[in-house]
């Protein structure tokens, strides 16, 4: 039986099949959009609020002025069959990436990294983001949902990427070629 599982794992890796590695406390999430005949997919682990204070201020799960893995458990992954361009001239060639969010007080940035396959944080709780692997940073437009968002959600629609959790939404636009 062990030999069968090894074959399955090797085949999955060889075919480039990806999915978020989530613990039992978090749900796997996926956001997908087709633009100009090309697919863009984000795989992530979706945590729930479960009565916790998530962003900003004392006692927040995700403190201000830190780097967040844009989800829970394994780092959030982006696969794009298209070349993407984000505001500020950030160009992301087709391929595989990891997404993080720089939680600057009141002003967040999407961080796109060439490094892939890592867990979202190191054993000591620090970020797994390596500055040298960054493709770029994109300023996110901040907003508030009409009601608190219990389950973290990433949404992709043609030309728009949005993150929503607790009392925060953060979004950006992009083009695909």
**How far apart are alpha carbons 56 and 107 in whole angstroms?**
11
**How far apart are alpha carbons 31 and 150 in whole angstroms?**
17
Q: Nearest-CA neighbor of 43 among 125, 98, 92, 81?
A: 98
Q: What is the model's pTM?
A: 0.85
Which domain range does residue 33 map to?
19-176
- Report if residue 2 sits inside a domain: no
Amino acid 159: pLDDT: 97
Q: What is the mean pLDDT of residues 89-96?
A: 98
- Report if residue 115 sits inside a domain: yes
- Report if residue 48 sits inside a domain: yes
CB burial of residue 73 (10 Å; 0-12, 13-18, 19+): buried
Round the CA-based radius of gyration of the chain to a whole number and report it: 16
95-109 pLDDT, tens digit per residue, is: 999 999 999 998 999
């Amino acid at each position: 039986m062990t030999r069968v599982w090894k074959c399955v794992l090797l085949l999955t890796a060889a075919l480039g099949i990806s999915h978020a590695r989530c613990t039992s406390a978090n749900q796997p999430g996926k956001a997908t959009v087709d633009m100009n005949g090309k697919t863009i997919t984000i795989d992530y682990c979706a945590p729930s609020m479960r009565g916790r204070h998530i962003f900003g201020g004392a006692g927040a799960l995700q403190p201000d002025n830190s780097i967040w893995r844009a989800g829970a458990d394994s780092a959030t992954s982006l696969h794009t069959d298209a070349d993407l361009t984000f505001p500020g001239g950030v160009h992301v060639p087709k391929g595989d990436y990891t997404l993080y969010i720089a939680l600057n007080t009141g002003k967040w940035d999407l961080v796109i990294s060439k490094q892939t396959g890592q867990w979202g944080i190191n054993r000591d709780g620090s970020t797994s983001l390596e500055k040298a692997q960054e493709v770029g940073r994109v300023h996110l437009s901040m907003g508030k949902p009409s009601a608190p968002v219990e389950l973290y959600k990433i949404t992709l629609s043609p030309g728009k990427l949005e993150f929503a959790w607790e009392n925060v939404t953060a979004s950006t636009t992009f083009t695909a070629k």
